Structure 1
Amino acid sequence: MSVKSTNRLAPPDPVMVGCILLLLSFSILMVYSTSISVAEVRYHDPFRIVGHWLLYIPAGLVVMWILSCVDANWWRAIALPVLGVGILMMVAVLVPGLGREINGAQRWFSLFGLTLQPVELLKPAVIVYMAYYMGSFPERLSQFTTGLAPMLVVLTISLLLLMVQPDFGSSVLLSATCFCMWFVGGVPIKHLALMLSSFIPLAGLAMIAEPYRVQRLTSFMEPWQDPYGSGYQLIQSMIAFGSGGIFGAGLGQGVQKLFYLPEVFTDFISASIGEELGLIGILVLLSIFAVLLTRGIQLALMQQEMFYRLVILGCMLCLAVALMINLGAAMGLLPTKGMPMPFVSYGGSALIGECMLMGLVLSIQRHNKGNMRIEKKSGRRDAVGTTADDRAHHQTPPRAQTEPDGLEHLF
């Protein structure tokens, strides 16, 4: 296998790329607006934080472009090695002297002054592995020991490594993504029910095992009981949303970013968007995400091979769940948890991880001439610019024709 030359590839999907560029452009404005005062006090340079962000954005786009140029069949071939590297890095970050501890959590590597989180590699690695297993061995899924059990072992190891760091938010995100992939991939409902019956109590024990998690849960339900402690951040976030109203105070005119709401340019940037741009700004932002996610689902539905379908679905689910956790925590609908808004919140590692996910999706879109559903009318172009005549030269392997077609059951 080799990387195909770019002149033989379909162009990147314009809808997806356009949505990502809109989100990143919006992010530059909001990161600058929310970080200028913090950067002035902390670094004596009002452009320090947004300047770093302007370096991360092109780096993330380059990563996305490189991954989109790789032959999509490679991801199936290297699923196990990439998963092994991801788990190895998750172990390495816990080793004293290798990993870096920030705010009581040891989740980062420090490299040339930059911090990198190995969980951002683990997410796509687990997604590709799950898609590889269900796409390559559909006959095994009917039996628990040969179907769900091996995938459950991989997820459990990943969750244990995340909980040791600790990173409860990424654990929830990865669990939700895998469960949806299993459902669509054809894992029997009875096996999923059995897994949930044992998994939910363990998740509850993990939540109450640490005092700070219990504190977050109680402050989420009643933040005013401790307005200057555990409930402070949520209260300030709710004040920001409330003061913004429908039209907002205006770009750059927010007050909560002036040291009332800590680190507002990262996990709580949605609160500042609500304050400065109001309900209209939030709805516009959600509309862009809706177009991006809908386009991803459409692309998944076009695939004949279950492997490609599940990779696209897993990547889009990962972004969707992260968005829901971010907005839910900021609005008081979910317990407070550090989770960046995809493509909008400041965070170099998170952005690189998000671009890796979209790079996988675009890789399949650009190399999928032999895996698109055949149109009835010869010569009619599909959504990625290929024709039925083009696809005649790229026959799908026979196995793909008999794989379960599970995604349609969701619609």
Structure 2
Amino acid sequence: MSAKGAKHLLPADPILTGCVLALLSFSVLMVYSTSISVAEVRYNDPLRIIGHWLVYIPVGLTIMWLLSRVEVTWWRAIALPVLAVAIVMMVAVLVPGLGREINGAQRWFSLLGLTLQPVELLKPAVVIYMAYYMGSFPDRLNSFSSGLAPMLVVLLASLALLLLQPDFGSAALLSAVCFAMWFVGGVPIRHLALLTLTFVPMAVIVLIAEPYRLKRLTSFLEPWSDPYGSGYQLIQSMIAFGSGGVVGTGVGQGVQKLFYLPEVFTDFISASIGEELGLVGIVALILLFSLLLGRGIWLAIQCEEMFPRLLVLGCVMILGIAFIINLGAAMGLLPTKGMPMPFVSYGGSALIGECVLIGLILSVQRHRPGNMRLPRNPKGSKQKSRSASNNGQEHFA
């Protein structure tokens, strides 16, 4: 970042960062409560999992802070190199000997005893590229071949690599985010409608092509048809929510975490929250995350330029859709899908990816003079405000 840009660096948005810190505090409490029994049995050390989590959190926050200091124009400049690196890593993880397979999916690299998922780089990389393309070439968007087609190629390549892992959930999430960005970015409705009519049958084919995906769908509709098989996890999750009632059983007093509910401190941590903190805890979690998403959307609306607006919107959409999928699956409202709850579920790669997304949002917010509308002069002098806004736009052009 240039010295000139440093003079305009604003403090990180207190609402956004406050929500992140509150969610992480929530996470530390629940990961500790839900992981001690599992860690005792697996590693003979009840503090093993929470110990790792307390290492990941400061690493993620440091990455978030560093990225927030980067000028927005840098993200536009490196959009293509970042996307290329993400694609190469997604290909490399599929190579035997390089990628690591866990539970039948090859999505991880092992490095110094830690597991890293390249999809957590792919998500922000695709968002940056889409924002870059629509912000740089708005005149091309009315044409399918020169407007939507290049972005569609990037999305399809990303989806193909995700399905090879396989990771149907991330593929669906990335598709939804890109469609939302295209809509806001100005891609004609007729192109999006045609694309939707093509994507839906393809998604159905991909869904029924693998028996386990179809089984997840049927177990979601009627989990009691196979209570000890495909419906087991959802049934145990629903029992946890039901046991919690309004105020919960109390932190540390939950029963489902005692090897009844698999993945209790990762994908199904919301079920344990419902059991130990009850409806009150779930409502508090929803309100806290709604505040984070609402603040992110407000920051996107304040952006005057298309690139930062779409950049913020894409990051907010990834976090919001992931939250809805995680909570909806645990409550039986959506098909079961292994997707962590942002900033709450245990998972080092996921946390770092989420901190990257918040770092990108804060990068736009902290360099506000060139990207966001300035507040009106309290004395009514609109000319000075307009002049300052124009100067900022020239600085970031």
Q: What's the TM-score bracket when you normalise by the shorter of the two chains?
A: over 0.9
Q: CA deviation at 1:371?
A: 2.1
Which residue does 2:166 correspond to in 1? 166
Q: Which amino acid aligns with 2:192?
A: L
Q: Are 1:4 and 1:69, in contact at CA under 8 Å, matched by a contact in 2?
A: no
- The equivalences for 1:204-283 within 5 A come to 204-283=204-283
With over 3 angstroms needed to count, the CA separation of the structure-2 counterparts of 1:255 and 1:134, relative to structure 1, is same
Q: Which amino acid aligns with 1:370?
A: G
Q: Are 1:223 and 1:230, in contact at CA under 8 Å, matched by a contact in 2?
A: yes
Matched, 1:324 2:324: yes
Q: Distance in 1 between matches of 2:53 and 2:23?
A: 13
Identical-residue share of aligned pairs (%): 71
Q: Show CA shifts across 1:115-134 (max 9, x none).
A: 00000000000000000111
- The equivalences for 1:320-399 within 5 A come to 320-377=320-377, 388=385, 391=388, 394-397=391-394
Q: Distance in 1 between matches of 2:379 and 2:125?
A: 37
TM-score (norm 1): 0.93
Q: Distance in 1 between matches of 2:293 and 2:336?
A: 24
Q: Which amino acid aligns with 1:245?
A: G
Number of residues of Structure 1 aligned to a counterpart in Structure 2 = 394
Considering fraction of residues, name the structure with more helix: 2
Which residue does 1:35 correspond to in 2? 35
Q: Distance in 1 between matches of 2:137 and 2:349?
A: 33
Which residue does 1:285 correspond to in 2? 285
Q: Show CA shifts across 1:354-401 (max 9, x none).
A: 000000000111112122224442689xxxxxx94993583315999x
Q: Distance in 2 between matches of 1:152 and 1:60?
A: 31
Q: Distance in 2 between matches of 1:324 and 1:302?
A: 25
Q: Are 2:373 and 2:389, in contact at CA under 8 Å, matched by a contact in 1?
A: no
Q: Are 1:3 and 1:70, in contact at CA under 8 Å, matched by a contact in 2?
A: no
Q: Distance in 2 between matches of 1:249 and 1:346?
A: 22
Q: CA deviation at 1:72?
A: 1.2
With over 3 angstroms needed to count, the CA separation of the structure-2 counterparts of 1:3 and 1:249, relative to structure 1, is farther
- The equivalences for 1:134-145 within 5 A come to 134-145=134-145
Q: Show CA shifts across 1:124-164 (max 9, x none).
A: 00000000111111111111111111111100000000000
Which residue does 1:77 correspond to in 2? 77
User: What SS is found at the alignment partner of 1:27?
Assistant: helix
Q: Which amino acid aligns with 1:395?
A: G
Q: Are 1:379 and 1:389, in contact at CA under 8 Å, matched by a contact in 2?
A: no
Q: CA deviation at 1:193?
A: 0.4
Which structure 1 segments of 5+ residues have no match?
381-386, 401-411
User: What SS is found at the alignment partner of 2:393?
Assistant: coil
User: What SS is found at the alignment partner of 2:154?
Assistant: helix
Q: Distance in 2 between matches of 1:116 and 1:122?
A: 12
Q: Distance in 1 between matches of 2:171 and 2:58?
A: 28
TM-score (norm 2): 0.96
Q: Show CA shifts across 1:325-355 (max 9, x none).
A: 0011101111110000000000000000000
Q: Distance in 1 between matches of 2:113 and 2:387?
A: 48
User: What SS is found at the alignment partner of 2:15?
Assistant: helix
TM-align CA RMSD: 1.9
